[in-house]
Amino acid sequence: MTTPLPHIDTLAVHAGREGVRASGVHALPIDLSTTYPLPVLDAGIDSLDAMVQGLAPTGSPVYARLHNPTVARLEEAMATLEGAEESVAFASGMAAIAACLLTLPADRRHVVALRPLYGGTDHLLSSGLLGHEVTWTTPKCVGDAIRPDTGLVVLETPTNPMLTLVDIAAVVAAVEPIPVLVDSTFAPPVIQRPLLHGAAVSVHSATKSIGGHGDVVAGIVSCDGPRAALLRQVRIATGALLHPLGAYLLHRGLQTLPIRIARAQATAVELVARLSQHRSVETVFFPTVAGCDPDGVFDRQMSGPGSVLSFDVGSREVAVQVMSTVQLITPAVSLGSADTLIEHPASLTHRIVDASVRDSCGISPGLLRLSVGLEAVDDLWEDLRLALPS
């Protein structure tokens, strides 16, 4: 008989902590070793042989680039929250995405991708820096873009910065058996779990909501065991490691992820309502706004809209004025911090994307992206109201 998994709020508090209590401590241990004693050489060799194949150590971690127990605990916790067999942590979100591309077989290096994507991902794919060829398409036409050498389909939902939802299950069905990678950075596991909708790979820039405090750069991939083993091989070969101190902070942050997201998204919902009524705001973009969910997947795919919204103030001039006038809100890129951040995608996060692509994705000169934090809604609204032209 299998017992049902606890609620995700409970999992967030307890996942990846097995054995900690039994060891006589309460907080997670941090292992900063770069090397490990090997008094029994044969046992070390067995463990090394397992790790170079991307498997878990059978004994000693041998050397820090191969394995770290503190990072492994975080990975276990993330896999639990994502409903995945395994998770693999990287030095950044981009390192995680690059590793996913590097695991594709040599004869399957064609990637089909849906725009808009995070500027860095768009650039990595369109520049061919890692030797991949990309075909850009739309959710409706994704099946037609598949070729015999296609190895991966890449999408984001909600998209950055337009907050558009893509129907994960529909894309998966259209491209089967090609694996679909979903960058779910805008929707952490408490509100969206891509693997449950058929995606083969879920990626997070853990720098954002998962870290939640703006002090760790990290990326996490969740997938099945064989793919995780390949990703670990790439991580060992490239050294794109997450430092154990970062892993500790992320794991600690997971405990409050559900309440942070719940609070920030409730504030975001209220700000969307108020911004929509403001005469200087032309359009607001948010997963629950009709235009952002053309296929009506919100109820099926997400348990909440998240805490990022975008709004168009009509011109670059006004956008720059708002960004430079806010006092409480920090004018900065990134998202998912405890404090509220505002940025201008056309100038910053999506600057690296061709202007024509920006235009076709709706990343207009007047667009601002707001990552809502944990402040009181009335204080945030006052700050925005004073910065917007009346």
- Which residues sit at the interface with ligand PLP, rule CB under 6 A? 92-94, 118, 120-121, 156, 160, 183, 185, 205, 207-208, 217, 219
Please identify, using beta-carbon distances, which residue of 79 and 89 lies nearer to ligand PLP.
Answer: 89
Please identify, using beta-carbon distances, which residue of 331 and 389 lies nearer to ligand PLP.
Answer: 331
296: Cβ contacts below 8 Å, ≥ 6 apart: none
Please identify, using beta-carbon distances, which residue of 95 and 178 lies nearer to ligand PLP.
Answer: 95
Least distance in Å: CB of 207 to ligand PLP?
4
CA dihedral 352, 338, 205, 276 (to 10 degrees): -60
Least distance in Å: CB of 372 to ligand PLP?
15
Euclidean distance between CA atoms 357 and 112, whole angstroms: 16
Cis peptide before 177 (omega within 30 of 0): yes
Q: What's the Cα-to-Cα distance from 102 to each of 124, 200, 340, 367, rounded to whole Å?
A: 12, 16, 35, 34
Euclidean distance between CA atoms 276 and 268, whole angstroms: 12
Please identify, using beta-carbon distances, which residue of 62 and 342 lies nearer to ligand PLP.
Answer: 342
Tokens of 325: 């006038």
Q: Which of 329, 206, 308, 293 is nearest to 261 (CA)?
A: 308
Euclidean distance between CA atoms 78 and 92, whole angstroms: 15
Least distance in Å: CB of 339 to ligand PLP?
17
Q: Which of 219, 197, 250, 227 is nearest to 120 (CA)?
A: 219
The alpha carbon of 278 is separated from its chain's Cα centroid by a whole number of angstroms, namely 31
**Residue 292 and residue 166 in contact, taking contact as beta carbons nearer than 8 Å:** no
Please identify, using beta-carbon distances, which residue of 185 and 192 lies nearer to ligand PLP.
Answer: 185
Least distance in Å: CB of 97 to ligand PLP?
6
Least distance in Å: CB of 236 to ligand PLP?
19
Please identify, using beta-carbon distances, which residue of 160 and 301 lies nearer to ligand PLP.
Answer: 160
Q: Which of 127, 65, 57 is nearest to 98 (CA)?
A: 127
- Closest residue to ligand PLP, judged by C-beta, is 93
Least distance in Å: CB of 249 to ligand PLP?
14
Please identify, using beta-carbon distances, which residue of 44 and 211 lies nearer to ligand PLP.
Answer: 211
Least distance in Å: CB of 94 to ligand PLP?
4
